[in-house]
Amino acid sequence: MILVVEDDRTLSESLCKGLSEAGYSCRTVHSRKEAADAMELLPDLIILDLGLPDGDGIAVLKMVRNRSAELPVIITTARSELSSRLKGLSSGADDYMVKPYSFDELLARIRIQLRHFERTQTRWEIGDLVIDLPSRTASRSGQVLDLTPREFDLLAYMASLHGEVATRQMLQESIWKVRSNMTSMDNVIDVHASRLRQKLGEFGGVPLLHTVRGVGLVLKEGK
């Protein structure tokens, strides 16, 4: 169950509706007090608004961390609350999103957080493509691909998503470690994706790296 702590009722209801449609069970609470009570329901993940009517969301975060070091918490915050946002990360949030954010982006981040514990995987097979993390090699039908370190990072990251879409924002942050809304890495991402796609196709085989128009990339067999 995903717990949405958000005092904007229109937002929290539409969030829960979207999450339910995506197959998650969801509960909304609208205050710090209700959030504390809802911990008894043992949520799997918390989406936490920082500005609550009866206190700071950071207090909720601390309460959550006292109970569990592992429970994923994604903070949502207004752009103006930059300092509280940084405070949120140092208080143990796993991720944050600046309002207004796209629902698809939030969904992608939720999936990543929920998959966190499965992320010990070091080898992936996608059709005839094999990616081996310890040796940092990738091959198709046994033929090793000649990838740059950055291209390999991109490929391994895509593989770790198990066929889920990586948004440009996720790629920018995970591969290029650029966490700014000011700098657009779109061209850089496109160039690397296009080179990687070319190298993946060098020995033939079905296309594996697909562009999702306006969103990002996905690595999978078939469209």
Q: Which residues bind Ca ion (CB under 5 A)?
A: 7, 49, 51
Q: How far is the CB of 16 from Ca ion (least distance, A)?
A: 16
Structure tokens at 140: 């198709």
Cβ nearer to Ca ion, comparing 77 with 160:
77
Structure tokens at 78: 């207004």
Please answer whether residues 133 and 143 qualify as being in contact, where contact means their C-beta atoms are separated by less than 8 angstroms: no
How far is Cα 166 from Cα 148, in angstroms, rounded to an integer?
A: 20
Closest residue to Ca ion, based on beta-carbon distance: 51
Q: Where are the beta strands (DSSP E) in 133-222?
A: 137-140, 143-144, 166-167, 209-212, 216-219
Please answer whether residues 113 and 95 qualify as being in contact, where contact means their C-beta atoms are separated by less than 8 angstroms: yes
Identity of the residue numbered 36: A
Q: How far is the CB of 197 from Ca ion (least distance, A)?
A: 42
Cβ nearer to Ca ion, comparing 9 with 179:
9
Cβ nearer to Ca ion, comparing 58 with 156:
58
Cβ nearer to Ca ion, comparing 49 with 151:
49
DSSP label at 22?
A: T
Q: How far is the CB of 76 from Ca ion (least distance, A)?
A: 9
Q: How far is the CB of 50 from Ca ion (least distance, A)?
A: 7
How far is Cα 24 from Cα 17, in angstroms, rounded to an integer?
A: 10
